[in-house]
Structure 1
Amino acid sequence: MDVHAGDQFADDICWAKSQGITTGWPDGTYRPVTPINRDALIAYIYRLAGSPAFTPSGQTFSDVAPSNQFYKEIEWAASTGITTGWPDGTFRPTTPVARDAMAAFLYRRAGSPAFVAPGVPSFTDVGAGNMFYQQIEWMKSTGVSTGWVDGTYRPLDATNRDAMAAFLHRYSNIGK
């Protein structure tokens, strides 16, 4: 309904829908330029992993109760090391996921592969001292992310839903 042929990431969004990674919103929209929240991103990653059988054994994060819509998916991500949450014991499920954290989630989902980040940064706004430098550079090296045309990555910007579909589509093709 709100994704049209010719939109920048239309093919990626259609792929994500066809793979069951996203279901969109109940009103039939996808809301492509809306930031994706941390809980929904984890649900996408869980579905991309094939929705593995998993039974949570407790509550890892103080702000993700068993009644949370994505409790199972978030607990799965915690159990696999994809997410560690915040130092205060929260996950902050309804907070938009920043692009740097998204890179960390995908890198960990890939098994934290051995990767030596380049000495010279690929992006003008992500220096070697950045907390997620290695993960962002890994995304660049695999083609999962190309950054922006101005040479930036914009690590603290929220990840929009359309870009997330593109990242996951590219991620699914690593090694193919």
Structure 2
Amino acid sequence: MTVLPEGEVATPFADVAPDQQFAADIAWLAQRGITTGWDEPDGTRTFRPLTHLNRDAMAAFLHRLAGSPEVTRPATSPFADVAESDQFYDEILWLHQQGISTGWQESDGTRTFRPLEPIARDAMAAFLYRLADAEDAPVTTTPFTDVAPTDQYATEIAWAARTGITTGWTGNDGTALYRPLEPINRDAIAAFLHRFDTRTG
């Protein structure tokens, strides 16, 4: 048995080194069955940590985090761009049924989920806030200089910071940044979900 240096964690993925940032979170994600990664032609499994996480995969991750509850399929999909034959259809349905995602109202009257778009950091905060059934009061200040109290999801982002789910970045001027509209990589979502699972508020 190989003994790793302190602070290093082995994962089942060939593309995640034991000393890599978020390796422990990725290992936890795999242990919980929230991710399985990809089978590669050489017989290894990969996680693709620096790939953006799409919205359909986010639905799958949250559904598994919640224990993979049973989903009742409606007569028709609530989203014009999500079909019954699509991967993660049930998981997206569950997200909608739980009120975690409502998608977008389109000009033709339909609603869309945009499953193959990367999920942005502000929407991620909103999804986790709704999954937690949190009820924070609207914020008047935020801990991040790039998130104004009037911004969409400002309350949800402030909640994510308060509960330790996110720490953001320290800018060159020493201020805290959240970068709300940036897409999330798969390694970072492992960290967010792990912190969500162990949050204290």
TM-score with structure 1 setting the length: 0.96
Q: Does 1:84 align with 2:106?
A: no
Instruction: Identify the residue that residue 108 of structure 1 maps to in structure 2.
Output: 130
Match of 1:24 in 2: 37
Check the 8 A contact 2:139/2:154 in 1, yes or no: no
Say whether 1:73 aligns with 2:91: yes
Q: Which runs of no fewer than 5 residues in structure 1 stay unpaired?
A: none
Alignment-derived partner of residue 38 in structure 1:
55
Query: Which runs of structure 1 show a deviation greater than 4 angstroms over 4 or more consecutive aligned residues?
Result: none
Point out which structure has higher relative CO (alpha carbons under 8 A, 6+ apart).
1
Looking at structure 1, the residues matched to 136 and 79 of structure 2 have their Cα atoms a distance apart, in angstroms, of 30
Segment of structure 1 superposing worse, 83-92 or 116-125:
116-125
Pairing partner for 1:13 from 2, 15, 26? 26
1:141 to 2:148 alignment = no
| 2:38 counterpart SS class | coil
Q: Quick one: distance in 1 between partners of 2:199 and 2:82?
A: 31
The superposition leaves residues 90-110 of structure 1 with CA deviations (integer Å, 9 ceiling, x where unpaired) of 100000000001111110111
Amino acid at match of 2:159: W
Identical amino acids, percent of aligned pairs: 50
When you count strand as a share of all residues, which structure comes out higher?
2
Give the greater-gyration-radius structure (CA). Answer: 2
What is the Cα-based RMSD across aligned positions, in Å?
1.2
Cα distance per residue 1:57-87 (max 9 Å; x no partner): 1301000000001000000110000100011
Are 2:2 and 1:2 aligned? no
Q: Which has the higher helix share?
A: 1
Code of the residue aligned with 1:40 in structure 2: it is A
Describe the SS at the equivalent of 1:16.
Answer: helix
Code of the aligned partner of 1:99: R
- CA separation in 2, counterparts of 1:175 and 1:98? 24
Aligned residues: 175
SS at match of 2:140: coil
- Distance in 2, matches of 1:96 and 1:159, equals 7
CA distance in 1, matches of 2:82, 2:39: 22
Residues 96-175 of structure 1 correspond to what in structure 2 (within 5 A)? 96-111=118-133, 113-150=134-171, 151-175=176-200
TM-score (norm 2): 0.84
Determine the structure 2 residue equivalent to 1:61. Answer: 79
Paired residue for 2:4? none
